[in-house]
Chains A and B, each alone.
Chain A
Amino acid sequence: MTQRKRKGGVRETKVRVWDIPIRLFHWTLASCFVIAWFTLDNRYLDVHIFAGYLMGGLILFRLLWGFIGGPYARFRDFAFNYSKVQNYLKDVLNKHPPRFLGHNPAGSWAIYLLLGLGLSVVITGLLTFGGEERQGPLAGLLNFPQGRFAHELHEWLSWLMLGVVIIHVMGILVESMLHRENLVVSMLTGFKTSAAGAISTLSHWKIGATMLVAIITAGLFWFQGHLTETPEQLYQPFHGPALPDNSLWREECGACHLAFHPSLLPARSWRAMMQKQASHFGEDLFLEQDAVNKIETFLVENAAEQGLTEAAWKINRSIPQTEILLRITETPYWIKKHQEISDAVWEHPKVNGKIDCAACHIDAAAGTFEDAAMHLPDDVEATATSE
């Protein structure tokens, strides 16, 4: 162990405070938080979800490590009560806080808060994923309204967590300045300097290496579809349920345009549309009455009111009960979800205007409209400036 002299002539040694698992946990958790924050757009849902799973796994590991880890990682090393925190903060205000080799009282509370909030964010995220998307281990546990509530909770908790992260970072900067040491570098190298005799923790590099391998393996497994996709067969991270289908509907409606799934409009819209088949957006469909009846039955039975998908539920609740809209693109939910798309994108030859859902939604023909099944054609991506 190297020794050096500090101002005042006290002999000090380099002490390993943060073992490798703790450092890996810290920086990976921070990365997950940042990644999750920047993958809010539905298109990147699979990245967001992975960041969430990883965050959950890391926090569970940290809770375990708080009991079996190195001396500075154990909870009993930083189990400070409120009055200790209060005293510490008073000392900070007087610019003379005592130095702690491990976590200080204020920092320890930030850690407990971050662990608690992180876990709550992960749990509400899983509930949202299961309730709104019908995916993940909690798929279908909540219905759509409950899933929406979990979603709002998830967002509020995330903002709260961001607040604690900011306080945590400010605390690090303040303490680094007051003690003239770089705490950020310590969290990278694991080392701090201390008076002789302080205990050094083991590096626990084997556990760290195992964690790293596990994270990389999980990442490769989760994202392998992106590596194997081809332009013809685009990768769709999440598949929705198989929706009711009908060959006559697919054949007749699909002859001129994408066979828009019944779940995309309410029953009253479909009835009106089939009754006016002789003036179908400027065309006379000239379908036989028998075909009209069969198609109408299929449309009405699986209309938006049935809530077969998240999109169906949200489209239906967005339309005032008195309105009979004939275009999916006139529904308030559709408009809201597409408002950021610039005219340049709509006019792009690969997009064909607002009528061709399949230009960007890989699963448009299936009717599921999964959040993560959105994929702008590559040269359209360059046109999209607004996102």
Chain B
Amino acid sequence: MNRKLIGVTALLLSIPFYAQADAVSDLEAEYQAQGGTNFNATAGEALWNKEFIDAKKGDKRSCTKCHTADLKKPGKHARTGKAIEPMAPTVNPKRLTEVKQIKKWFVRNCKWTLGRECTAQEKGDFLAYLKNL
């Protein structure tokens, strides 16, 4: 009885990790199908820290503006001040677990930060960088 309980608990606890692996590998396959190759964490990190000038307002934007450079710490929404939970999956196991969520935030945040949607290659690089944090 007791052993069974431990087994079930362990199984339940491991769900987030499977989910993450699933969501990320599903998306990586999708981005590869769209033309992305050799996803690279270093390229992802460089893009994460890169500054873009907004075409309309002229202000500097980057992923770090809201998420900060340390992804294990909470961030702060640049426009609303709302607290953002840490990005690193080791600190925040909910990250990178849902395909729908990842896609939504890629659209929203690429458009605001880069002024356009990210390419399949860029998104793959981002995932490569983020998934091992």
Q: Which residues of A contact B (CB under 8 A)?
A: 256-258, 282-288, 352-353, 355-356
Count B interface residues, CB 8 Å: 13
Instruction: Write 16 A-B pairs (CB below 8 A) sorted by A numbering.
Output: A256-B80, A256-B82, A257-B77, A257-B80, A258-B80, A258-B82, A282-B56, A283-B108, A283-B112, A284-B107, A285-B108, A286-B104, A353-B81, A355-B79, A355-B80, A356-B81
B80 lies within 8 A of A356 (CB): yes
CA distance A258 to B82 in the complex (A): 7
For A288, what are the chain B residues with a Cβ–Cβ distance below 8 Å? 100
A351 to chain B, nearest CB (A): 8
A352 lies within 8 A of B81 (CB): yes
B81 lies within 8 A of A283 (CB): no
| Nearest-CB residue, chain A, relative to B112 | A283
Q: Which residues of B contact A (CB under 8 A)?
A: 56, 77, 79-82, 100, 103-104, 107-108, 111-112
A164 to chain B, nearest CB (A): 50
CA distance A356 to B112 in the complex (A): 20
Determine chain A's interface SS by DSSP, over half rule: loop
CA distance A352 to B111 in the complex (A): 23
A344 to chain B, nearest CB (A): 17
Name the one of B80, B107, B112 contacting A352, with C-beta atoms under 8 angstroms: B80
| Nearest-CB residue, chain B, relative to A281 | B79
For B81, what are the chain A residues with a Cβ–Cβ distance below 8 Å? 352-353, 355-356
| Nearest-CB residue, chain B, relative to A280 | B108
A286 lies within 8 A of B107 (CB): yes
For B112, what are the chain A residues with a Cβ–Cβ distance below 8 Å? 282-284
A283 lies within 8 A of B111 (CB): yes
CA distance A258 to B81 in the complex (A): 10
For B80, what are the chain A residues with a Cβ–Cβ distance below 8 Å? 256-258, 352, 355-356
A321 to chain B, nearest CB (A): 30
| Nearest-CB residue, chain B, relative to A288 | B100
| Nearest-CB residue, chain B, relative to A349 | B81
A284 lies within 8 A of B111 (CB): yes
CA distance A288 to B104 in the complex (A): 9
CA distance A336 to B123 in the complex (A): 46
| Nearest-CB residue, chain A, relative to B76 | A352
Can you name 4 extra interface pairs (CB under 8 A) apart from A283-B108, A285-B108, A356-B81?
A: A256-B77, A283-B112, A355-B80, A356-B80
* Residue among A258, A287, A352 with the highest chain B CB neighbour number at 10 A: A352
| Nearest-CB residue, chain B, relative to A255 | B82
B107 lies within 8 A of A257 (CB): no
- For the complex of A and B, list the 9 residue pairs with the smallest distance between their C-beta atoms, beginning with the closest: A352-B81, A257-B80, A286-B107, A284-B111, A355-B80, A356-B81, A286-B104, A257-B82, A283-B112
| Nearest-CB residue, chain B, relative to A257 | B80
| Nearest-CB residue, chain A, relative to B117 | A284
